[in-house]
Structure 1
Amino acid sequence: MSFRTMVNTTDILSSQGFPAKIWQFLRHIWSGLSLLTQFMILVAVTVLFISAISNKAIKQIAATSLIESSLEVEQAMARSLVLPVLGQQPLVGDLENEVETMLRNVVTRHLNPHYINKIKLWGVDGRLLFDSDQEYVAADTLDPTVQRVLEGETVIVSNDTELHENITNNVSGDLVYEVYMPLLSLDGKLIAVLEAYCSSDLLASRIQATLKKIDQMRFGVLFLGMLLLAALVFYAQKHIQRQENQLLASMRATENLAQRNRELLKQSEDIRRRSSEANEHLLNHIGAELHDGPIQLLSIAALYRGQADIERQDNPLQEKAQHLFQKALQELRNISIGLILPELEDASLCEAVCKAVEAVKQDWDMTIELEISPTDCHLPLPQLVVAYRVVYEALNNAWKHGTSSASKVTLSISSRQFDIKVFNLVTPSACQVANEAPEIRKFPYYSVGMIGMQKRVQGIGGILRVVETDGGVLVHVTAPILEPDASETDLGGT
């Protein structure tokens, strides 16, 4: 027993009453044993209990159910030994000395004391003629039991020590049976009455000796069976233990795999966030370069062109070139404005959507219906940027390809996600199929510019859907609400 088990046992014995302490102590010891030991203890206790009960029942069984059959055997044995000595004539009066000597030789040499303790011989006149233990003087009165035998019965009674004839009997045992049997000649005449004394203790000892041999064989078979059963239980215990170890190893491997999957998912989310940040940083850089480079040069060229046009205003080609030049400059400015985002660092989701709508209104003469959720939330910057660009790109596509200048933007926010919907009527012939995105080919009114939008939405874990409804196109974005991370920083050096 380990030190920890001893400490626990001491705690159990000191925390409850004495009977409860003993019971808890035994239960604690029992639970600490192996399955094989518990099984062997139970089998041993059961066998000992059954053996004790069976040994106590042997004497009672011998005195009741087996006594009659044994007495019949002993009657036959006594008759076969005594009848040849007595002859065929009824016994009346005293026995001859020769006959008495022969009877004593039969008792001494041939009568088994383990079956018959002693015998008496009664004459047909009811007198006691012979006693194997002593010289006997005939009784004055006739024994009633002998009288019954003279009338033809065989009587078995318990030994009555109060009778005059039994006072001097030297018979051992708690229970002794007296068997009175008639001795008949070959022609059926009554010769004498034989009384045999049989002790039930001797009968029980014989039965016990026989059962002892049977018990030895039974114990040997039982012991062999217990060994085989113990081996089977030992094998089963080892097999169960091996399966338990395999199950624990499998559970540990599954737990490690789940932990690894969680780490990979976290890394994937981090990579996706950084990719979105890098994309926005690149777009901002491109927008700044367009603004500081080509747009500035075109602005200077337009200034000089304007001066040249003042001197020659009647040249129609100059006017046409000036018009196209101004249009190209406006397109570059629109691209630059779309790439360079407004300040979204401290903005909420509703503010980001409103800024996208206002930017489109400044670029185009559009009527935009805006429905904002009454609840607001703050998101990480990559999610705000995606929400802004989704609204901005969808409204620009609505202006370029729609049949009406009216559009509708809806923002709804729940506890776990937000939904942005942009709806506008479109002309099918004014749109093209996005061959680069097979998953959205079933929407023929989807422009190529929406491919980038889909990539951005996927970058924040969202879903972009395009639904044809009521003669128009509904751009629907659903994305999870992520908690802003104060430790988020832009990619250094990008």
Structure 2
Amino acid sequence: MIGPSGKIGSMTASPGLARRFLLAAATTIAVSMGLLAMAISQRIEASMMRTATEEGARFTEVFLGPLAQDLAISRSLSPESMKKLDDLLAGKSGERMILVKIWLPDATLVYSTNKETIGGRFPSHHIAAAVEGKATGEFDYLQDVENAAEKLLHTPLVEIYAPLFRTGTQEVIAVGEVYTDGRTLAADLASIRFTSAGIVGAVTAPMMLILFLMVRGASNLVNGYQSTLIQNVVEAKYLAAQNDRLRRLADDARLEAADSNENLLARIGQDLHDGPIQLVSLLMLKVTDPTATRGGSAHDPAIEPLTRRILTELRNISTGLVLPELEGLTPNETIRLAVQNHEEATGTTVSSQIGDLPADLARPVTICLYRIVQEGLNNAFHHGKAIGQRVEVWAEAQSIAIVVSDSGPGVVDSRRESSRSRTGLGIAGLRNRVEALKGTFELISQRGIGTQIRAKLPATFTVN
């Protein structure tokens, strides 16, 4: 089988469909699941920080609240209260707390593990929130100014701000700030983040695998269909090329058959002229020779008319079969010759309008034009009484149009088309001749109006 030509041969299935889908899906799902894992870990972190804040608020209320009651009537703690706070942090409670600070509502530091910063004022939104009765908490790496001395610890701390109330009331007299070791909480949060990412990854991987397998199967199916389609296109092009070649061969065969038919008719006409016609002519000479009766016997008077009739019929038949010499004539000259021969044979006048025709028409097409004029005018003479005989021929884009008409009484006889004429094979033979050349043929006859023979022959129908 011949291969495809042109762009068909370059068509290939796309092998990267599954790979591109996997990349896009992996990116999309990874980002989506990463955001999901981040959101989950943040929610868990917020929940754990809230728990730690509540625990720190209870510690400050239980341990720092009673020692900060001096601040209800004073802006500083008494030495006894500060000593108790120092002793408290030096004991077992100090193991959990890294720093402890007590603030006045105006953000003035009245107690701190670091004595150097006492008396300073360091406003913050955490202190403002605690003054309003809200406890807050967050991770802190001691970046604030008042924590400069403790910054070298480089330890994640949980910083908690809680309100300190006057005993028995809801009046905030101070704000307690507690820093606890946050390494355990940070490790727990890191573990939670890792676990969340692992769970999300464990859920995502099978999803991506299933989607990849589905897309790869679909891609293989599409590739298979595409390959089959390409193969079908190749076969269709091959068959189309074969059909075109066979069509050209059939066209050539029709032209050759038409040419052979003309040659056969010419040989038959020549044989009739050279054989039977010559013999009958000789018979006529003998019958009409006066010396033929010297023996005393008179010839039959009916022989001579009968012989003349036979001779006339044979000559008519041979005249119709034998074409005049058309070799070297253009299509225009061929049609004019057919009109001239008809006028000379019948003694009638034919009106003709012949346009400029292509000079390179195939010989069967030119002969067919001659036959149409010959048969049409003969038809007009015998059936149309030679009234208004007319021949019109013109060239169109891809065809030659010809009309042979008369203005006679018209013929409405259904046997007309199948009957043979005196000089040809009749309308049926003419129709077959035209259609063999892939042309169109039409006979229009109306009583009292006349008869038209219309035909169109392809102008580009040439032998390859």
CA contact (8 A) 1:457 1:463 kept: yes
Residue 349 of structure 1 corresponds to 331
1:448-463 map, 5 Å: 449-463=426-440
Alignment of 1:278 with 2:260, yes or no, is yes
Q: CA deviation at 1:35?
A: 2.7
Deviation at 1:166? Answer: 8.0
Does the CA contact (< 8 Å) of 1:360 and 1:396 recur in 2? yes
**Aligned: 1:213 with 2:200:** no
User: Is 1:382 matched up with 2:360?
Assistant: no
Match of residue 454 from structure 2: 476
165, 181, 206: which one pairs with 1:224? Answer: 206
Unaligned runs of 5+ in 1: 1-31, 438-446, 488-494
Contact 1:422 1:476 in 2 (8 A): yes
3-state SS of 1:363 partner: helix
Q: Matched residue pairs, number?
A: 426
Which one-letter code corresponds to 1:345 in the other structure? E
1:55-94 alignment, distance < 5 Å: 69=50, 72-76=53-57, 78=59, 82=63, 93=80
Q: CA deviation at 1:139?
A: 9.1
- RMSD between aligned residues: 5.1
Matched residue SS, 1:367: coil
Cα distance in 2 for partners of 1:232, 1:206 equals 39
Give, in whole Å, the separation in 2 of the partners of 1:371 and 1:68: 110
For the pair 1:247 / 2:224, whether they are aligned, the reply is no
CA contact (8 A) 1:287 1:340 kept: yes
Whole-angstrom CA distance in 2 between matches of 1:299 and 1:148: 146
Cα offset, 1:180, TM superposition: 4.9
Q: Are the equivalent residues in 2 in contact too, given 1:291–1:333 (CA < 8 A)?
A: yes
How many angstroms does 1:295 deviate by?
0.4
2:91 to 86, 104, 128: 104
Deviations 1:267-307 (A, max 9, x none): 21122112212211221121011111110111001001111
Equivalent residue letter for 1:418: I
Higher mean alpha-carbon deviation, 43-52 vs 326-335, is at 43-52
Give the secondary-structure state (helix, strand or coil) at the position aligned to 1:482.
coil
- Pick the aligned partner of 2:382 from 379, 391, 400: 400
Residue 368 (structure 1) aligns with: 350
> Does the aligned pair in 1 maintain the 2:418–2:426 contact within 8 Å?
no
Contact 1:454 1:464 in 2 (8 A): yes
- The answer to whether the 8 A contact 1:156-1:180 is kept is yes
CA displacement, residues 83-103 of structure 1 (integer Å, 9 cap, x when unaligned): 99x89x999726999x95898
1:47 CA displacement: 6.8
Compare relative contact order (CA 8 Å, sep 6+) and give the higher one, 1 or 2. 2
- The residue number in structure 2 matching 1:416 is 398
Q: How many Å separate the matches in 1 of 2:121 and 2:433?
A: 125
Rounded to whole Å, the distance in 1 between the matches of 2:312 and 2:129 is 149
One-letter code aligned to 2:396: S
CA distance in 1, matches of 2:302, 2:201: 123
Greater mean alpha carbon deviation, residues 386-395 or residues 323-332? 323-332
Distance 1:416 1:188, change over 3 A: closer
Mapped to 2, the partners of 1:427 and 1:316 lie a distance apart of 48
Q: What do residues 440-472 of structure 1 show as CA deviations (whole Å, max 9, x unaligned)?
A: xxxxxxx97211111111121211111125621
Matched residue of 2:91: which SS?
helix
Moved more, 377-386 or 99-108: 99-108
Looking at structure 2, the residues matched to 423 and 398 of structure 1 have their Cα atoms a distance apart, in angstroms, of 7
Per-residue CA deviation, residues 291-327 of structure 1 (Å, 9 max, x unaligned), is: 1111011100100111149969xx9995554234223
Q: Deviations over 1:318-367 (max 9, x none)?
A: 55542342232122112112211111122111111122222223322222
Give 3-state SS (helix, strand or coil) of 1:346's partner. Answer: coil
Which whole-Å deviations, capped at 9, do the CAs of 1:354-406 have from their partners, x for residues lacking one?
22222223322222222221445232221122111221122222222223455
Q: CA, structure 1 residues 329+196, in 2 after alignment: closer, same or farther (shift >3 Å)?
A: same
Q: In structure 2, do the counterparts of structure 1 residues 290 and 71 end up closer, same or farther at CA, with 3 Å as the change threshold?
A: same
How far, CA to CA, are the matches of 1:342 and 1:244 in structure 2?
Answer: 62
Secondary structure at the aligned position of 2:279 is classed as: helix
| 1:18 corresponds to | none
Q: CA deviation at 1:174?
A: 7.3
- Answer yes or no: is 1:296 the counterpart of 2:278: yes
Q: Secondary structure at the match of 1:177?
A: strand
CA positional deviation for 1:224: 2.2
Which of 209-218 and 319-328 deviates more? 319-328
**Residue 177 in structure 1 maps to residue 159 in structure 2:** yes
The one-letter code matched in structure 1 to 2:333 is E
Whether contact under 8 Å (1:183, 1:194) holds in the other structure is no
Q: Secondary structure at the match of 1:78?
A: helix
Contact 1:79 1:183 in 2 (8 A): no
**Shift of residue 189, structure 1, vs aligned partner:** 11
With 192-201 and 462-471 compared, the bigger mean Cα shift is at 192-201
What's the counterpart of residue 234 of structure 1? 216
Partner SS, residue 355 of structure 2? coil
The aligned counterpart of 2:310 is 328
**Separation in 2 of the partners of 1:246 and 1:76?**
76
**Greater Cα offset, 372-381 or 277-286:** 372-381
The alpha-carbon distance between structure 1 residues 394 and 70, as it changes in their structure 2 partners (threshold 3 A), is same
Judge conservation of contact 1:149–1:182 (CA < 8 Å) in 2: no
CA contact (8 A) 1:173 1:199 kept: yes
Cα 1:288/1:76, change in 2 over 3 Å: same
Q: Do residues 464 (structure 1) and 446 (structure 2) align?
A: no
- Say if 1:269 and 1:284 are closer, same or farther in 2 by CA, change over 3 A: same
Q: Is the 8 A contact 1:366 1:406 kept in 2?
A: no
Contact 1:160–1:166 (Cα < 8 Å) also in 2: yes
Compared with structure 1, are the counterparts of its residues 170 and 330 closer, same or farther at alpha carbon in structure 2 (3 Å cutoff)?
closer
Alpha-carbon distance change, 360 to 402 in structure 1, aligned in 2, over 3 angstroms:
same
Q: Which runs of structure 2 are paired with 1:25-40 in the superposition (5 Å)?
A: 34-40=16-22
